[in-house]
Homo-oligomer: A and B are copies of this chain.
């Protein structure tokens, strides 16, 4: 019976919508459930990671309700029955569990092992980031960049200055006049030359670097739009007009390269991708020109990342 209802026609939404939503569905219905069902919800929330190992009878017993009540609870959440509920819950949790639980305590004996640590941190950081990002801010940032006459990107220190370079490189490919700076004084000076049609994009994982905060102030004073990709509640994010905020857990392990670089890079990629789609035709022409200039240079043609 429960199998009939999910034949080929319904397959598409299985992995996707299903996986993404159970826990938020739980939050959504919370409070508006019938009293006994709410009891089940409370128990589930309190013991969320052991539910998928329980039978319906165990859960009913633990929440002190009858088994049909548990089933009704599952249906209130949009599941077909208890089985589907357990499955979806397990999938939801797996995503966050996989790497967060990885043996963080142990030292990496091999490079392969270190790679697992690194990937684990990336996954974990990416998940945290995705939940924190404000879609509205991202849209604002996109619009600002699209409408800009000139884009100035700044970042100081290894990680951030790499991101700034990369950002300038990405947006340049999309036909946006962009420059990267990573010298404290140059940042100040160039920011002072910006005007209302310009955009200043700032990378700073601390959000407190004087030169960066200063640049944001100067640029704002001259009417330029300012975007930061940084920590919330910092001087920087309180100074710029479009703060993109992510508070990422830094691994206390000083030997581990900080994973937030990857998260910031992903944000940059997403922004660049949206801008590219938005300015589609212009972008295609630009990429064509860049590619042909390179092809002329080293004579290769196959599909490959533009510019190695």
A residues sitting closer than 8 Å to B (CB atoms) are 3, 6, 11, 14-16, 19-20, 49-50, 52-53, 55, 58, 86-87, 90-95, 97-98, 101-103, 107-108, 110-112, 114-119, 122-123, 126, 130, 133, 135, 138-139, 141-142, 155-160, 162, 165-166, 169-170, 173, 204-206, 208-210, 212, 250, 252, 254-258, 260-262, 265-274, 276-277, 280, 283-284, 287, 298, 300, 303-308
Contact = CB atoms under 8 A, between A and B. Distances in A.
Q: Which 7 A-B pairs have the closest CB atoms?
A: A157-B308, A91-B94, A157-B307, A111-B138, A115-B270, A255-B276, A158-B169
A110 B143 CA distance: 11
Nearest to A117: B273
A49 B15 contact: yes
Given A15-B101, A255-B273, 10 more contacts: A19-B98, A19-B101, A116-B130, A157-B307, A158-B306, A209-B298, A250-B304, A257-B268, A257-B269, A262-B262
Nearest to A103: B16
Contacts of A102: 16, 20
Most chain B CB neighbours (cut-off 10 Å) among A3, A111, A166, A273: A111
A305 B273 contact: no
A115 B308 contact: no
15 contacts: A15-B94, A87-B87, A91-B94, A111-B138, A111-B274, A115-B138, A118-B270, A119-B126, A119-B130, A122-B122, A157-B305, A158-B173, A209-B298, A255-B283, A257-B273
A173 B58 CA distance: 52
Contacts of A130: 115-116, 119
B162 A169 contact: yes
Nearest to A52: B87
Contact of A114 (B97, B252, B254, B273): B273
B19 A94 contact: yes
A159 B308 contact: yes
A155 B112 contact: no
Contacts of A49: 15
A265 B266 contact: no
Contact of A256 (B92, B114, B273): B273
B3 A55 contact: yes
A98 B95 contact: yes
Contacts of A116: 130
A126 B20 CA distance: 18
A133 B158 contact: no
| From A86, A101, A170, A258, residue with most partner B Cβ within 10 Å | A101
Contacts of A265: 261-262, 265
A162 B210 CA distance: 25
A206 B308 contact: yes
Contacts of A284: 254
Contacts of A107: 277
